[in-house]
Each structure stands twice: as C-alpha cells, then as structure tokens.
Amino acid sequence: MPSDELNRDTIAAIATPAGRGGIGVLRISGPEVPRIAREILGRLPEPRVATFASFAKLDEGIALYFAAPHSYTGEPVLELQGHGGPVVMQALLAACLDAGARVAEPGEFTRRAYLEGKLDLAQAEAVADLIDAASREAARSALRSLSGEFSAAIGALQRQLVELRALTEATLDFPEEELDVLHRDDAAARLAQVQHALENVLARSRQGSLLRSGIHVVLAGRPNVGKSSLLNRLAGEERAIVTPQPGTTRDALREPIQIEGVPLVVVDTAGLRVASDMIERLGIERTQRELARADVVLAVFDATRGRDALENLPAGTQCIEVYNKVDLAPGFVPPAGALALSAKTGQGIEPLRRALLETMGWTSTGESVFLARERHLRALERAQAHLAAAGRETRRWEFFAEELRLAHVALGTITGEFSADDLLGEIFARFCIGK
C-alpha cells in the first residue's frame, strides 16, 4: 500500500489555465479547509451543494465544498469558481495562503488522491494522460485507464498468479510423489493461461503506447521530388511552401497529424543534394539530424525519374519507399514493397496512410487498447520474463513459486501496490499545477 505522508499541509492552487477566462477555479485541499472556508466565505457551505458566496470581498461566485473522504483527494476540498481574471485569482490565492494554506506542487492533488487510495498509480497517470491526450483515440484510452479498466486487467493477472502460488505452496507442504505429478500438469496448464492473458495485455498496451508517443516520420529525398507537397497532402493543409524550383525547403518543418486517431509528427526536410549555398547546406545538415532521430523514414522518389541513390539513410530505421508524381507517369509500376502515389491528385495516399500505421505496429484489432506508458511496458515485460522462468522450474517448486511472486511484484508496480517514492516524485512532477 502507498506510504502515508503524515502531517499534511493544506494546499491551494489555481486549477484553471493562466490568463483571462469566463471562470477561474481555485482549489484547496487538506485538513484546514473547513477553517479556511469559514474565514474566506464566512461559513462552511453544505457539502456538494453549489453555494453562491462572497470570496473574502475579492470576488464572488460559486463555492463547492467536499467533505472527506468524498472528494477528489479524499481530504476536505473547497473549490471556488470565480471570475477568471488573473489579478482576482491571484488575490484569492493569496488570501488562502494568508489563511494558512501553501501553494500546491504540480500533481499534488492527484498525488494525495493516490495516497488516500482514491486512485491507484495507473489511474493517476491516466489523469495526466487524459489532459495531455493528442487525439480523441488517446483521450478515450486514457479515460478507460482512469476508470480502472487497465488496473482491472492487471488485477486479474495478479489473482491468477496468487491462486497458482497458493496451489504450489500447498504441494510444497505435501511432497508426495503422486501429488507432485498431478500438480505438474495442472501448474503447467495454469501457467500457460496466465502467460496467454499477460501477452494479451502486453499487446494491447504496446498498441496503446503508440497513441501517447507520436511517432516521428521524416520525409527525405532529392530536391523537387514532392516532399513538401506530400506533407501538405498528409496534413490536409498547405503547410509547407511548394514551388517548381529545386531546393525550396531549407528548414525542417514538423506537422502533427493523425491517422485513425494515432498521432504522428511528419517532418518535411530540405532535399538531399550537394548544396548550392550556405543556407541550403545548413538545411541539409538538419535533414541529416532529423533522419538520425526518425522512427520511420519516408524515402520519396520521382516516378518520372525513377530511383535515386539516397545516401546516409540511417541503417536500421524503418523505411517506406514512395514514388511520387505518378499522375505524370501513366503505367508506372513501383518496385516490390514500394508505393506509387501522387501528392497532387491524392492517388495512392490511402495505401500510404495504411502502410505508415502498419510500419508503426498499429493494427486495428477492434479490441480496446491501453494507453500504456513506457514504465508499464517494462513492468509487463519483467512479469513476462518471470513467468517464462517459472515455466523452466516445474521440478523445483520453491523456485517456481518464487518466480510467480516476482511476476506478481512486477505487475504491482504498475498500480503502485509496490512502488518507490522517487518514482512517485517523477510521475507527479510532470502534472500541471492544480491537478
């Protein structure tokens, strides 16, 4: 269970973004909230009832009081919805600080919610992921994690492990030969079941992690092959300058796009050739840097000219070859594995979008995906390794049971059942203030 942080202060923060707004929300949480509420509002509002009040004569608006434990943090919470001007909100925050609260750190409200057992760690992370979601698909997955679907899947795996451990430990107490043989078959079958279930969770998590990260796709090719035109086509907007003159693009231009809700960043670059001037030379150096960082390279060729030699494509990076301007090359057949398209007419763009998703490892299985973080993937992989090790220990039950326990612990780090304090610091520091 999460460790408790005793002697909690009362924390306050402006929960709405900085600047002007129709409403500004100030949030306070902690043991001193009832007293501070009386000081600022003149009384403690009835819990969960929207109450119109004057806020320390600085503003007036709706006060909402949540008594512990029925609040976001599990502590007494007061939310003041006032007029969202920066001066008013700051003055109101100052009044709360004068009354004894301190300014909340990023993510501190959610951290308390976690410490109070309102959310587990995976759910707390989902709060930040929902706020930061780069696409609707990502938001939907984050909400699923927030509502506990991911944690429930982890919990189900853990229950299976506990059962198998209990059975095994019972066998340890009765080491008769017959029982041992019986258990060996049963244990192997049950272990295979857990492994299968874990693989399913891992696959769905790997898929979901794509929704978070935003894969970098870099367009590369000789000048004038139509890289910028292709970027514009994929973005659905005229973002990059296109001219018939080779060497138009000098700077790397990044454009966030979505394909089936999967976010990616497409980078247009200066065409690769021997530079004709210093600006172009610098541009081409940038292209090389972008290429070195790319998750996927789109090597663009001109279908009317065929394949150019493209040096310096990073080895080991996934690459899709496309032949552009097929509208000018009727009957053109691309080499095996390459795509033919026209940035001008849009012909062949759909297959390219599908190829991009496929190269990234996205498959629309129809099954819901988990918006997993790198941390979750590592933990699932650790659990997987321990289960594999258990599979090799069906003659030494102590070791078998120990591997199951280690797999259980690895899974427990996802929900925070087993967690280190530095991990908590790292996770919550990336939240926004007031959350």
Ligand X SMILES: Nc1nc2c(ncn2[C@@H]2O[C@H](COP(=O)(O)OP(=O)(O)OP(=O)(O)O)[C@@H](O)[C@H]2O)c(=O)[nH]1
The option from Mg ion, ligand X, none interacting with 246 (CB < 5 to 8 A, set by class) reads: ligand X
Report the C-alpha gap between 50 and 71 in whole angstroms: 14
Work out whether 287 is an interface residue with ligand X (CB under 6 A): no
Report the C-alpha gap between 265 and 255 in whole angstroms: 5
From the list 173, 156, 201, 117, the residue with the least C-alpha distance to 416 is 117
Pairing outcome for strands 21-29 and 51-55: unpaired
**Which of residues 211 and 253 has its CB atom nearest to Mg ion in the complex?**
253
Work out whether 248 is an interface residue with ligand X (CB under 6 A): yes
For residue 145 the two structure tokens come to 């994690």
Work out whether 224 is an interface residue with ligand X (CB under 6 A): yes
The option from ligand X, Mg ion, none interacting with 229 (CB < 5 to 8 A, set by class) reads: ligand X
Report the C-alpha gap between 55 and 93 in whole angstroms: 11
Report the C-alpha gap between 302 and 355 in whole angstroms: 19
Work out whether 413 is an interface residue with Mg ion (CB under 5 A): no
Q: Which of residues 8, 35, 286, 344 is near ligand X by CB under 6 A?
A: 344
∠ CA 47-112-416, nearest 5°, is 130
Report the C-alpha gap between 60 and 54 in whole angstroms: 4
From the list 114, 164, 168, 181, the residue with the least C-alpha distance to 425 is 114
Q: Compute how many other C-beta atoms are within 10 angstroms of the C-beta atom of residue 293.
A: 11
In the block, residue with structure tokens 């693989």: 199
Q: Which of residues 151, 249, 324, 419 is near Mg ion by CB under 5 A?
A: 249
Work out whether 207 is an interface residue with ligand X (CB under 6 A): no
Work out whether 246 is an interface residue with ligand X (CB under 6 A): yes
Work out whether 229 is an interface residue with ligand X (CB under 6 A): yes
Among the candidate windows 60-68, 157-165, 320-328, 424-432, which touches ligand X by CB under 6 A? 320-328
Work out whether 328 is an interface residue with ligand X (CB under 6 A): yes
CB of 144 to ligand X, least distance (A): 40
**Which of residues 275 and 385 has its CB atom nearest to ligand X in the complex?**
275
**Which of residues 205 and 324 has its CB atom nearest to ligand X in the complex?**
324
Positions that interact with Mg ion (CB under 5 A): 227-228, 248-249
Positions that interact with ligand X (CB under 6 A): 223-229, 242-244, 246-249, 270-271, 324-325, 327-328, 342-344
